[in-house]
Structure 1
Amino acid sequence: MNIIESIRIAFTALFSNKLRAALTMLGIIIGVGAVIGMLAMGNGFQNFLNSQFAQLGAGNFYVAPFIDSNRLDVVNAARLTASDGNALLQPGRAPAVENVAIEWNGRVQAIGASQRGSYDVRAVSPSWFAVTPQELAAGRLFSEEENRERARVAVIGRSVAERLYGGMGTAVGQRISLNGVGFTVIGVLATEEGSFSIGTDPAEAIFVPYQSGLARLFRNQVNDQVNVGIMTVKARSVPEIDEAIRQVTLVLREEHRLTYQDNDFSIINPEQIAAQFNVVIGGFNAFLGLVAGISLIVGGIGIMNIMLVSVTERTREIGLRKAVGARRRDILLQFLIEALVLCMIGGILGILLGYLLSFVGTFILINLFATEGAAASVSLANVLLATGIAAAIGLAFGFFPALQASRLNPIEALRTE
């Protein structure tokens, strides 16, 4: 018997009882659809997180004046100053470091064009715009000279410009009052609202030169031990991040004259955080895959059950075919093909269900959780995986009924009523 004829007979047997075949395939459809849909949503969210971390800048990590006060062996206070940033840029001290940006931020009352509101002001060194991926929508950025001279200039986020001045184009050149201190808006950032950032969303923030901010706005908030809220360090390349972190740690310990004491600062590496998130998402996907796998096993048991019923119903047919010369392997192959066809049709329908679930998942992620860009991604690998699983289930759960059919005695089979 050839394969084409076996497939034709398999389809004939399936269509002879459509409802039974549909109910039998239901477990496979749900299982395959769940595998594809859940993996697609997991991939979409993973891509979203990776893109968000990428917005922080490739090769960037952060230093903050933070220590774990719950530890019993903590004997020193947190410390981080602007001179620490200068030390990191001294020739030969941290060769794996390309650039350093320092920052202090606080909440202020801002008034512009008769509009007012409460905003975060981020006092940053000019190098902050070099190490952080930001684009200008209008105007310019402030310079190192303006930072040294404590110039009263500001770069504002696009949301601030739209609320205070009605648009980005009209904001440049306008005056803005920050806690009663007048500044001139010289630039507007193009960064969209909701962008991932360490600190306040750039679209919602006002940026002033670091020295201007400390002298004119935050004088009472800083001291000799801590006058930097966050330090952004850019490694020369992504592979050199670990070496850059090691060098930064050594330099800061030297600057703070630490010997046996623990660090009085903390280093935050987004690459490690992203890796931890990916591990969590991978574990979640594995759990969802396990749940879907249980559904597939249940579907496989249903196929075995229906194939056993089919063998019983077609016992006389099997006996007749053996009587006219069909071999055991012909009968075995025929019933294996029928089980495989059942699973493959269920697998194809499951793939369509998986695509539907991915669209629903994308809608939920974007509209309910405000994760713009977290579109579910159905990969070819996932489709091939689901198809392979469906085929394997057909072969695995269809083998026993097929083997039972092939072992029937033709004489006894023909006597069956």
Structure 2
Amino acid sequence: MFNLFTTIRIALRALAKNKMRAGLTVLGVVIGIAAVTTMVSVGQSAGELVQRQFEALGTNVLLVFPGSRRREGVQQSGSPTLTAADAQAIAQECPAVLAASPVVWSGGQVIFGNVNWSPNEMIGVGTDYLTVRNWQLRVGDFFTEREISSAEKVCVIGHTLLAKLFQTSNPLGQTIRVKNIPFRVIGVLEAKGANMVGQDQDNILLMPYTTARKRLQGSNFNTVNAIMISAKSLELMSQAEYEVAQILFERHRIRPDEDPDFQIRNTTEIANVLGTITGTMTLLLSAIAAISLLVGGVGVMNIMLVSVTERTREIGIRMAVGARGKDIMRQFLVEAVLLSSLGGLVGVSLGISASVGITMAINSISSGSDWPVVVSFRAAVIAMLFAAAVGIFFGYYPARRASRLDPIEALRYE
């Protein structure tokens, strides 16, 4: 152990004699380690953001949309095929389903007093919508089955709508106008923040789906635009998807030789696909960034070869006083590893700072964005080990060359 400490001290002294040259030598290692650490950290941040956004969509959500189907060789599309009764049947007859809600989309301006505002989303939903979306009420109540069956003109608003229309006043019981139709505010949702594309999820107005269909769309049909479904657990997602498909096949009287008139989207599968894409891109960018580590390793080897040439006489003197070839080899190998490791430490520090800075810059530039700050210490440790490996790999040849010098020839070297 004493010999190792002595070797390290001598190596540090040798590197300190040419600080500028040593610094320029490890520049490639510093850039490579910093780039790898930054790319992995930012990639993990993007992956975590994707997972957060799908969690914000709801708990184990399945989305059912009307689809087109082929009858006697003719593709038929366009007419809505889903009904509120479908949603009710799914919730009651599918054991793997926790809750289901019909969805009817609408749009328009919301007016309160002399203030008007256009929500990002104006949706007619069922009583279980908050359960599906894993959303809580901040104050007030949600509408009931009685209000849905009678198409009551009541609504629940998001946090952004609260701030824009009511500011500091109490919204409960107040009347707002949607397409010149008066609606009574009965509740306010908890804040959810922005989604993955920066859209404000709190800029939303919810109402009974019957109200949206009859009052706003002027329709007496029982059709809905979509059905949102929550499975009882992540493990039951596939089973829930199968059960929903079977119920709809039966209710819509779709024969085995016919295409279904609905489409089911599994948000977990979409999240997994996006996560795979994000991970692949991160790996690709990290691999590209790691190329600079090879460039840095070549620089380390070059400087060590120069060092061997400059210190040939020193090597000869050490051999003359009893140093063995393996001692000389160890000395130069330790110098190469130290050089690369010091570069790795600087690179990891720069990489962590860069990943935090990039995440903060994205959040400041993109309005409503909330990228999580993720620092991949695992990537930093692996990068440090890789830097040491670069020192060993590219330092071996110069160290081996130094250990094989002839002592007499080395002493004669000028």
Q: Secondary structure at the match of 1:85?
A: helix
TM-score normalised per structure 1: 0.92
**2:282 alignment partner in structure 1:** 285
The whole-number CA distance in structure 2 between the counterparts of 1:381 and 1:196 is 26
Matches within 5 A, 1:296-375: 296-370=293-367, 372-375=369-372
The whole-number CA distance in structure 2 between the counterparts of 1:67 and 1:275 is 26
| 1:174 equivalenced with 2:171 (yes/no) | no
| 1:96 equivalenced with 2:93 (yes/no) | no
Correspondent of 2:292 among 290, 295, 314? 295
**1:85 alignment partner in structure 2:** 87
Q: Secondary structure at the match of 1:2?
A: helix
Q: Secondary structure at the match of 2:229?
A: strand
Q: Secondary structure at the match of 2:123?
A: strand
Letter paired with 1:270: T
Q: Check whether the contact 1:153–1:183 (CA below 8 A) recurs between aligned residues.
A: yes
The whole-number CA distance in structure 2 between the counterparts of 1:36 and 1:394 is 18
Letter paired with 1:35: V
Q: Check whether the contact 2:69–2:259 (CA below 8 A) recurs between aligned residues.
A: no
Matches within 5 A, 1:114-153: 114-119=114-119, 120-153=121-154
- Structure 1 pair 154–57 and aligned structure 2 pair: CA distance change class (3 A): same
The whole-number CA distance in structure 2 between the counterparts of 1:118 and 1:367 is 24
**1:379 alignment partner in structure 2:** 376
**1:183 alignment partner in structure 2:** 183
TM-score normalised per structure 2: 0.93
- Structure 1 pair 395–76 and aligned structure 2 pair: CA distance change class (3 A): same
Q: Check whether the contact 2:59–2:134 (CA below 8 A) recurs between aligned residues.
A: no
CA deviation vs aligned residue, 1:298-345 (integer Å, no higher than 9, x gap)? 000000000001111111111221122111111111110000110111
Superposed displacement of residue 371, structure 1: 6.0
**2:231 alignment partner in structure 1:** 235
Superposed displacement of residue 17, structure 1: 0.8
The whole-number CA distance in structure 2 between the counterparts of 1:409 and 1:68 is 85
Q: Structure 1 stretches of 5 or more lacking a match? A: none
| 1:257 equivalenced with 2:250 (yes/no) | no
Q: Secondary structure at the match of 1:321?
A: helix
- Structure 1 pair 203–68 and aligned structure 2 pair: CA distance change class (3 A): farther
The whole-number CA distance in structure 2 between the counterparts of 1:37 and 1:371 is 23
The whole-number CA distance in structure 2 between the counterparts of 1:83 and 1:140 is 24
Q: Structure 2 stretches of 5 or more lacking a match? A: none
The alignment-based identity, stated in percent, is 37
Q: Check whether the contact 1:316–1:415 (CA below 8 A) recurs between aligned residues.
A: yes
Report the RMSD for the aligned CA atoms in angstroms. 2.1
Superposed displacement of residue 76, structure 1: 5.8
Letter paired with 1:161: L
Q: Check whether the contact 1:75–1:261 (CA below 8 A) recurs between aligned residues.
A: no
The whole-number CA distance in structure 1 between the counterparts of 2:89 and 2:137 is 30
